[in-house]
Structure 1
Amino acid sequence: MATVPSFPASVLAVRGPGLALAAAIGTAGLWLAQQPLLQRGQLGALTVAIVIGMLVGNLGGARLPAALAPGLALAQRHLLRAGVVLYGLRLSFQDVAALGLSGLLVDAVVVAGTLALGLWAGRRWFGLDRDTALLTAAGSAICGAAAVLAVERVIRPEPGKVAMAVASVVLFGTLGIFLYPALYPHLGLDAAGFGLYAGATVHEVAQVVAVGSAIGPETADAAVVAKLSRVLMLVPVLLLLGWREARRSGGHEVAVPWFALGFLAMVAVNSLVPVPAAVKSWLLALDTLLLATAMAALGVETRLSRLRALGTRPLLLAALLFAWLSVGGYLLVRLLH
């Protein structure tokens, strides 16, 4: 009589190959991101992982076995959600309180304004579909690639649209690393004010750290607090998107993105529970690995032909949003700080 494999063994057999490939690429991304050359360019593990994944997917093409698909899907969905939840350990309510009312207002206006401009201009001016415009706007408005991935879990777009959004926010966020320190002497902001400006307008957390550190410790501290407070706004954005998706699909039940509430719960844990430094460091390293694995899986399933079909319009939208963040954010800081 044939033996029936146990449930965990059968799941591992089906999901294992693709999951192992994504984890290997994610791990390679983590290692490469720590090398001096990439560190100087502030290329994070998520960016490196999706690039390697795209190389594997496009060079392998039809030769990649179909058995990889279930594991890659698991990485893109469930590991991504776990990574977004653990991302909340990077922020505390004390950080938000330290930013002050004016700082929170700057963050809120930047996030809301960028999302609104991205959706409106993306569709009206550049003729983009809703998903591409929304993903690009979310990455610019909140926290770069991590926000793109979180929104992807709610709206479920094609992989090529996600990859294009990630590429655009990485491109202009990297440009900000060089532009912002060069602008600092000419903006008339003190160190804390410039930190608020950088944290409220630069795309990725790592890029914010790079900009702030180029000026000094006070600027770096203010920039990180402003940036992480902006990251917290991912929660209401995801909840609003879940509600809108339910309305668009004609359903009466709101599809609550529970991982967003998990993110908020981790912020609460980080605020109220004394998590040992070693444990927190391990969890944050695991979080980066989970997100890098998800990004690698996304890259493997992204074909360059799909990106070419999107054309240059998403990049033009990202450039417009970068200009709005740089100029509009500065004016907001001068007005409200």
Structure 2
Amino acid sequence: MKKIKGVIFCAFFALIAYFICCCEFCRSINLNSLTLAIIVGMIIGNVFHKFIPETFKDGISFSAKRLLRLAIILYGFRITFQQIFAVGFQGFWADAFMLTSTYLIGYYLGTRIFKLDKDLCMLTAIGSSVCGAAAVLGTDSMLKADSHKVSLAVSTVVLFGTISMFLYPILANLGIVPAEAFGIYIGSTVHEVAQVVAAGSAVSPQVCDTSVIVKLTRVMMLVPYLFLLGFYLSKKSHTKRTKVPMPWFAILFVVMCGFNSLNILPAVVKSGIIEFDVFLLTVAMFGLGVETNFEKIKGLGMKPILLAGIMFLWLVVAGAVTAKLIV
């Protein structure tokens, strides 16, 4: 019960962000409730933090972590196995290569060249390589990193993902990547699902459909990554019992994908679940924003932004080459 006040606090502002982003203007500039919620949360957490009662803090932390897991599970209602199989091996291999290479480059450069904290490198690399904020938050549920590191990783996703929404339609007009491969290009390289939809729809409906399916396949790859991360963390702990932390939320995410593939639920019910999931993610993002401390982020310097920028450049260039070769 002591968490309820903080949860209501987060839900209240998340609801405001959710309804604001339903307006035509926000849709026209591709501003979603997750982005707005974390921005508002950061402002409140840093400018007005003195006015937040101490009794709210447990609920805010609960919203940023526990509610997030439920949101990731429900995210499975956006994906079907049929959609994944329809893309074929071309999309799968493009996803697998770009995910693996981007993550390894980000982690190596971050730890060896920029000398950044390992947790921050993991979070930033997974955000760029898999599925943006959801991947960052899913990874953090196992790493249990400091909130400011999570927020910084999410911020890089927002920054470079927003740039990609405007960049990719320009690249489509330049003809650098063939039209039939452009959906794979977008889906295998752009950070967030919403950003993929925005970039793809600006090119053509066909490109948008392909890019979303390729992106959702990439989202599914978060599950084996979390298992590998759990195994790594268990080895790192040097305990006698090398028990791998079980990412049950990730397993249930796959179960929800399978259930959604059966197409049992009426469209109106599924639509309602997806909207509720968006709201839960918005609550989690607001809670995360409130827990973010700008002073700690300032102490990290520009290195994390530069690291994310290098990964973004790799996604754009290597993704174009991969899409051209694979189709």
Same-fold call, TM cutoff 0.5: yes
Question: Is it true that 1:56 corresponds to 2:52 in the alignment?
Answer: no
1:84 aligns with 2:61: no
Partner of 2:301: 311
Deviation by residue 1:266-317 (Cα, 9 ceiling, x = unmatched): 1101112422101101100111111111111111111111111111111101
- AA matched with 2:159: L
Partner residue of 2:189 out of 179, 193, 201: 201
SS, match of residue 157 in structure 1: coil
Secondary structure of the residue aligned to 2:245 is coil
Q: How far does the alpha carbon of each residue in 1:105-136 deviate from its partner, in whole angstroms, 9 at most, with x for none?
A: 00011111111111001111211111111111
Q: Tell me whether 1:222 sits opposite 2:210 in the alignment.
A: yes
Paired residue for 1:253, among 243, 249, 272?
Answer: 243
1:149, distance to aligned residue in structure 2 (A): 0.9
Equivalent residue for 1:146?
Answer: 134
CA distance in 2, matches of 1:92, 1:137: 26
Residue 103 of structure 1: aligned partner: 91
Q: Is residue 239 of structure 1 aligned with residue 227 of structure 2?
A: yes
Choose from 13, 24, 29 the match for 2:17: 29
Any stretches of 5+ residues in structure 1 without a counterpart?
Answer: 1-10
Partner of 2:292: 302
Instruction: Name the aligned partner's letter for residue 107 of structure 2.
Output: L
Amino acid at match of 2:97: V
Distance (whole Å) between structure 2 residues aligned to residue 189 and residue 17 of structure 1: 51
Please give the per-residue CA displacement for 1:193-228, whole angstroms capped at 9, x wherever unaligned: 101100110111111111111111111111111111
2:180 aligned with 1:164, yes or no?
no
Q: Distance in 1 between matches of 2:290 and 2:30?
A: 23
1:188 positional shift: 4.5
Q: Contact (CA 8 Å) 1:196, 1:333: kept in 2 or not? A: yes
For residues 136-177 of structure 1, the C-alpha deviation after alignment (integer angstroms, 9 at most, x for no partner) is: 111111111111111110101100011111111111111011
Q: CA RMSD in A?
A: 1.2
CA contact (8 A) 2:102 2:125 kept: yes
- Structure 2 distance, partners of 1:189, 1:333, is 7
CA contact (8 A) 1:115 1:137 kept: yes
SS at match of 2:91: helix
Task: Name the residue aligned to 2:267.
Answer: 277
Q: Greater shift after overlay, 67-76 or 221-230?
A: 67-76
Task: Spell out, residue by residue over 1:66-116, the C-alpha distance to the aligned partner (whole angstroms, 9 max, x if none).
Answer: 101111122122211100000111111111111111210000111111111
Bigger radius of gyration, 1 or 2?
1
Q: In the alignment, what sits opposite 1:321?
A: 311
C-alpha distance 274-131 of structure 1, shift in aligned 2 (>3 A):
same
Indicate the percent of aligned positions where both proteins have the same amino acid. 41
Q: Deviations over 1:234-275 (max 9, x none)?
A: 111111111111111224111111100011111101112422
Specify the SS of the correspondent of 1:215.
coil
**TM superposition score normalised by structure 2:** 0.96
Once residues 201 and 136 of structure 1 are traced to their aligned partners in structure 2, the CA distance between those partners, rounded to angstroms, is 15
Question: Quick check: 2:183–2:208 contact (8 Å CA) kept in 1?
Answer: yes
Match of 2:322 in 1: 332
Determine the C-alpha separation between the residues in 1 that align with 2:37 and 2:171. Answer: 31
| Alpha carbons 1:46, 1:145 under 8 Å: kept | no
Which stretches in structure 2 are left out of the alignment for 5+ residues? Answer: none
